[in-house]
Structure 1
């Protein structure tokens, strides 16, 4: 990732955390949980880092049909050209990692689908101040509950659960209101050189790739917060 010009921050200004992810990315949900664990570890600090988190769109498989005929092993074996036994082993591995992060993945229930509408919904939720709730609901629905997250009706149902208006959500999704915002996120990812997710951009300066352990986020946030305080007192 190319590094933008470093800018001065006021100590009272939260650290920005911009996360590029796809709700169909198993490592993204794990990365989200690890970030949350890192934040929880810093919460009891005398001067706990303050953060502002924003999720951004990244489609891992934009050519995926809304209704894929097959299970996750079928999809990955076809998409990656891997033997089914190897795919099954890979899914078992990520299921174990997810469990360590407190997540119960159910690849046997998962309904693989195109995620562009889910990304549009996340931008709609962001406009209503409910992006974090919507991100969590979508990932839980997809990875742990076997719900469909590619069709408008199903997405509206999930949106209502987090407090969004059904009619306004349906209109936004049917009218492609937030497609430009999705494409803008994807263009920014290309500008940063992001090729895989999750990818975390901290304060517009530092890039963290992958589902790093909680301690990684904990250490980066504490270091940045301490430097910000030192810059102000200097």
Structure 2
């Protein structure tokens, strides 16, 4: 891959309805904050939908939705929730599955594409709204309120959601995920060359960041070597 500068590019496919994405975001942020070359890292959040067929506005408890979708006994789902909540708590996240409402996340992903430089803050707010506060994140009034809390202009957000703004951008992310073979999230890709799947420990993300920067440096060195060798060619 050819790079125009010395920036390492990290793309992260995630879904607001994925608790492991919330945990993975927290762990990746911890790694990035410690990484000595963090000023050379560009992070882009990409859209993914684990359950794109979830009806909008149904307001079903997440446990009921998963029992139906996965065909699992309710007690087994509760045990799974308890395990995830325990892991999340170790990373400082207070997930309350008893209040989580199943939602179609397409509009939330559209909103993230409209958020510009506030995208990371908005994603954090959406995760918290869904997993901690029991908000309905496929309700547009709720999305406008969450966006405003993250520093976005509410009228601009509402106008975007009332139209078809950023829908193509979300679909492009979903298509790219299929092209890359993404079957689960979170999914972290460095320079479109190296990938890490899942809410990995911080040290794994630190290694990914170092590999990303090292690969950029190696590509720049190779390009410089080619330029330096060009003096043996013919010129007019």
TM-score, normalising length: structure 2 = 0.88
* Structure 1 residues 180 and 226: alpha-carbon distance in aligned structure 2, compared to 1, 3 A threshold: closer
| Structure 2: tracts of 5 or more residues without a match | 226-236
Question: What is the aligned length?
Answer: 222
Q: Distance in 1 between matches of 2:212 and 2:52?
A: 35
From 147, 166, 169, the counterpart of 1:159: 147
Residue 169 in structure 1 maps to residue 157 in structure 2: yes
Q: Which residue of 2 aligns with 1:66?
A: 56
Calculate the aligned-residue CA RMSD, in Å: 1.7
From 185, 189, 193, the counterpart of 1:201: 189
Q: Which residue of 2 aligns with 1:3?
A: none
Q: Distance in 2 between matches of 1:180 and 1:230?
A: 35
Q: Which residue of 1 aligns with 2:97?
A: 107
Q: CA deviation at 1:227?
A: 4.7
From 26, 31, 38, the counterpart of 1:33: 26
Q: CA deviation at 1:20?
A: 0.7
Which range moved further: 169-178 or 219-228? 219-228
Deviation by residue 1:79-129 (Cα, 9 ceiling, x = unmatched): 100011111110001101111111110111112111111011001113xx2
Q: Distance in 1 between matches of 2:208 and 2:59?
A: 42
From 72, 95, 105, the counterpart of 2:85: 95
The answer (yes or no) to whether the contact 1:59–1:115 under 8 Å persists in 2 is: yes
* Structure 1 residues 188 and 48: alpha-carbon distance in aligned structure 2, compared to 1, 3 A threshold: closer
SS in 1 for 2:188: strand
The answer (yes or no) to whether the contact 1:65–1:113 under 8 Å persists in 2 is: yes
Residue 83 in structure 1 maps to residue 73 in structure 2: yes
Q: CA deviation at 1:204?
A: 1.3
Q: Distance in 1 between matches of 2:73 and 2:177?
A: 31
Q: CA deviation at 1:68?
A: 3.1
The answer (yes or no) to whether the contact 1:68–1:111 under 8 Å persists in 2 is: no
Residue 192 in structure 1 maps to residue 187 in structure 2: no
The answer (yes or no) to whether the contact 1:28–1:211 under 8 Å persists in 2 is: yes
* Structure 1 residues 168 and 209: alpha-carbon distance in aligned structure 2, compared to 1, 3 A threshold: same
More helix by share: 2
Q: Distance in 1 between matches of 2:143 and 2:219?
A: 45
